[in-house]
Structure 1
Amino acid sequence: MDRPRPLASTLKHLALGAYLVFLAFPLFWLISTSLKTPQELALIDPTIIPDAPTFDNFRAAFSEQPIVRSIVNTAFVSSVSAVLTVFLSIPAGYVMARYRSVVSRATIVWVLLSQIFPWVLVIIPLFLLLRNFGLYDSRLGLIIVYVVWSMPFALWMLRSYVASIPYELEEAAAMDGASKARALKDVIAPLLAPGVVAAGLFAFVSAWNEFLFALVLIRDPDLQTLSLTLVKFIGAEGVARLGPLAAASLVATIPSLIFFAFMQRRLTGGLLGGAVKS
């Protein structure tokens, strides 16, 4: 048996630690900036750790802009669009993976083309289409756009998950007397749970961070999402109020981090549940 090499193991841990620091540094800098005074933010050589931490930037952000209302709007739109995306992608992904037909091949081509097609080219047709249907400047219109935007990638992801599940499991369930619906519920669904969680997480985070569609399709201040509210901390000449902007950005980041941590545990549970079921 080969013994583990201490030097190689140490280098791996150092590389992993450096990578984690690289990923966490922007969040740390955001926290540091949100706690600095205007005098510290104006320094030519910025400090990493605030000399006199203050929460004035948070108070200014919440008093100047409707942060809470924007969070509620963004959470509602992101959650509903994620649920609809997963709900529509599960049966379509299963059919694409299990049944070979002209429709499934055409759907695969549509998925691939949608990923390379720049969305900025369709923003004007989308605007005209939603306006004609009375969905402009509404949550429903924005949700529909987010579902269409996220569904191709989620569909491709779930198709790959279904294709990785052996079809023999369904045949074995049928031989044991299980109906098609019960085989899908008791055999396929537990194994597909990690893919459902991953697709839902992708759809939620994509909708939470999206800016262009919300900018074009939402005009009512009461319906604006968080990304639109953050832009208001930047002046007409491009001068940003770094303190309140960093505070508002940190507040905008925390819900997505909590959602990701929650879904990450469900993703691990789905993997273990699928392993037990199989």
Structure 2
Amino acid sequence: MRRRALAGRLWALLALVLAALWAFPVYWMVQSAFLPTNRLRAPDPSFLPLGGGLANFRRVLDDASFLTAFRVSLAVTALTLVAAVLFAFLAALAISRYRFRGRRSFVLAVLVVQMIPAEALFISQYAVLDDWGLLNRAAGLALVYVAAILPFTVWMLRGFVAGVPVELEEAAMVDGLSRTGAFFRITFPLLAPGLVASGVYGFLQAWNEYTLALVVMTEPGQRTLPLWLQGLVEANRATDWGLVMAGSTLIAVPVIVFFLLVQHRLTAGLVSGAVKG
């Protein structure tokens, strides 16, 4: 018993050390956002934001290009999230609940598409968006993101749909519900955790993506937040790290807030599904 207790404490200590190593870069970014430039360039590092302030955040928020980039990123992320989850849900439902010719080929194609490097498609994607007049448009970038996110999202949701027994729908239909009613009243609530997990994945990919946005959004007024941050670094020979860290912190805030909100709903969905099952 003592050996088990000692081993448990050692594993807990190791987990705390790994968590601290993981969280330290985030802490360094946040605390650096409060420090002036001379403190950040000092030979002795400052591990606490003592004597700092909100000047760097004010400079970022006063920059009109930041607010423009924020609106562009928000529009692109919202379009990507809705379209990717909707199409992936329908595709996962089809390949999990129905048997049709070419089903295995479709599943195999989903896996193969995931193996194609994104950089190999840049030229063709640029040409297509140029022909359709969607360059430097939020809808055009969202379309590319949906194409990139969809294969993995379909595969993720397929596991959730396959994990819900079809007998639940059949029992509800025996009790008088239609097929559609049985699906939305019985099966759909049990799939909420999968939809939320897919939404988290789509949100993170669309919000933080850089390379595709660099190819599609070439006009300064249509930059996303990662492009805005990169432009901020390139605009100064001597990088203003306080400004960069403040911008990075503000960019990370919506991701953290979204994840916290969705995490609560994900937990509620799992508990609800366990009770109904």
Normalised TM-score (structure 2): 0.93
Task: Give the Å deviation of 1:118.
Answer: 0.4
Looking at structure 1, the residues matched to 170 and 10 of structure 2 have their Cα atoms a distance apart, in angstroms, of 47
Q: Which residue of 2 aligns with 1:82?
A: 81
* 2:23 paired with 1:24: yes
Using the TM superposition, name which of 41-50 and 239-248 deviates more.
Answer: 41-50
Q: Which residue of 1 aligns with 2:274?
A: 275
* 2:10 paired with 1:11: yes
Looking at structure 2, the residues matched to 264 and 4 of structure 1 have their Cα atoms a distance apart, in angstroms, of 36
Q: Which residue of 1 aligns with 2:213?
A: 214
Looking at structure 1, the residues matched to 159 and 257 of structure 2 have their Cα atoms a distance apart, in angstroms, of 27
Using the TM superposition, name which of 129-138 and 103-112 deviates more.
Answer: 103-112
Q: Trace 1:152-167 onto structure 2 (pairs within 5 A).
A: 152-167=151-166
Q: Which residue of 1 aligns with 2:40?
A: 41
Q: Trace 1:1-278 onto structure 2 (pairs within 5 A).
A: 5-64=4-63, 66-235=65-234, 240-278=239-277
Q: Which amino acid is 1:270 matched to?
A: G
Do the aligned partners of residues 69 and 4 (structure 1) sit closer, same or farther apart at CA in structure 2, a change above 3 Å counting?
A: farther
Looking at structure 2, the residues matched to 184 and 8 of structure 1 have their Cα atoms a distance apart, in angstroms, of 47
Looking at structure 1, the residues matched to 102 and 250 of structure 2 have their Cα atoms a distance apart, in angstroms, of 44
Task: Give the Å deviation of 1:155.
Answer: 0.5
Q: Which amino acid is 2:164 matched to?
A: I
Looking at structure 2, the residues matched to 104 and 3 of structure 1 have their Cα atoms a distance apart, in angstroms, of 55
Task: Give the Å deviation of 1:200.
Answer: 0.8
Looking at structure 1, the residues matched to 2 and 176 of structure 2 have their Cα atoms a distance apart, in angstroms, of 50
Do the aligned partners of residues 4 and 98 (structure 1) sit closer, same or farther apart at CA in structure 2, a change above 3 Å counting?
A: farther
Structure 1 unmatched ranges of 5 or more: none
Task: Give the Å deviation of 1:237.
Answer: 8.3
Normalised TM-score (structure 1): 0.92
Between the two proteins, the alignment pairs up a number of residues equal to 277
Q: Tell me how large the CA RMSD over aligned residues is.
A: 2.0
Structure 2 unmatched ranges of 5 or more: none
Looking at structure 2, the residues matched to 76 and 235 of structure 1 have their Cα atoms a distance apart, in angstroms, of 25
Looking at structure 2, the residues matched to 272 and 238 of structure 1 have their Cα atoms a distance apart, in angstroms, of 53
Contact 1:138 1:223 in 2 (8 A): yes
Q: Deviations over 1:33-88 (max 9, x none)?
A: 11122112112332211342122222333344522221222112102210111111
Looking at structure 2, the residues matched to 159 and 239 of structure 1 have their Cα atoms a distance apart, in angstroms, of 49
Helix, strand or coil at the partner of 1:233: helix
Using the TM superposition, name which of 215-224 and 153-162 deviates more.
Answer: 215-224
